[in-house]
Amino acid sequence: MKENLLRFNFNQKYLVLDTETEGLNLLRSRPYQIAWLEAVGKKIVARHERYIWWPDLNMSDGAAKINKFDYEKYRDLAKPARQVWDEFCPLLDNHLSEGGTKIIGQNFLGFDAYMLNSWPRALGLNSSFNYIRNVLDTKAMAMAIAKGCKTVDEDDLIYWQYRWLNHREKNIKTTQAHLLKHYEIPHDPEKLHDALYDIEMTFQIFQKQIIDLEI
């Protein structure tokens, strides 16, 4: 038995992230909501949710419908985009400088990573992907598990994830909703696509996945 597996590492730090966005354009769409939770082992130690104010927010009809976007709630809760970035960015940096913190997200490599780029860009700031090797993408892991994979390529973990993320097969579903059903995780489908709810669900999915995978 491998004792260094995540499932046995109760001191492992996690940062679970999700963004809700005005659209699905990987360069121009900006996040209007971000939620992150910090966890050690299985224990969640902090939850954060921020609405991000963009005066010229350009919600696409599709995004508004899927996310059940409520403009009045957004207007009341949102803080200036720069202010939220100045709060979030050092937190991300701190986790990276401490080393070892795993960044967890559903389709993080295929989407949220781009949103963490479009956000500072829209503010005229530089962005960086120096966290990319710390990412564990539950969508990529889900595809690997669905294909019967039991182990990961530890030395090339980021490439291993990209390979599974880019793998397409008609009959395999890897959406969050499907994974919640698959793992029989109690959830309210109506609440999905709210960043704070999604990260809680993602973390629960992740806990199941690290049992399925030797990671």
Give the interface with another protein as residue ranges (CB under 8 A): 22-29, 58, 60, 62-63, 109, 113-114, 117-118, 127, 129, 132-133, 156, 158-159, 162-164, 166-167
For the bound state, the minimum distance from the C-beta of residue 97 to another protein, rounded and expressed in Å, comes to 18
- Tell me the two tokens of residue 190: 């109506």
For the bound state, the minimum distance from the C-beta of residue 207 to another protein, rounded and expressed in Å, comes to 25
User: Toward another protein, which CB reaches closer, 62 or 100?
Assistant: 62
For the bound state, the minimum distance from the C-beta of residue 58 to another protein, rounded and expressed in Å, comes to 8
**Residues 6+ positions from 84 with CB-CB distance below 8 Å:** 34, 50, 52
C-alpha to C-alpha distance for 84 and 171, rounded to whole angstroms: 40
User: Toward another protein, which CB reaches closer, 47 or 167?
Assistant: 167
Residue 170 DSSP SS3 = coil
> 142-159 burial string, b = 16+ CB within 10 Å, else e?
bbbbbeebeebeeeebbe
User: Toward another protein, which CB reaches closer, 23 or 41?
Assistant: 23
Q: What angle do CA 37, 43, 44 make, to 5 degrees?
A: 20
For the bound state, the minimum distance from the C-beta of residue 114 to another protein, rounded and expressed in Å, comes to 4
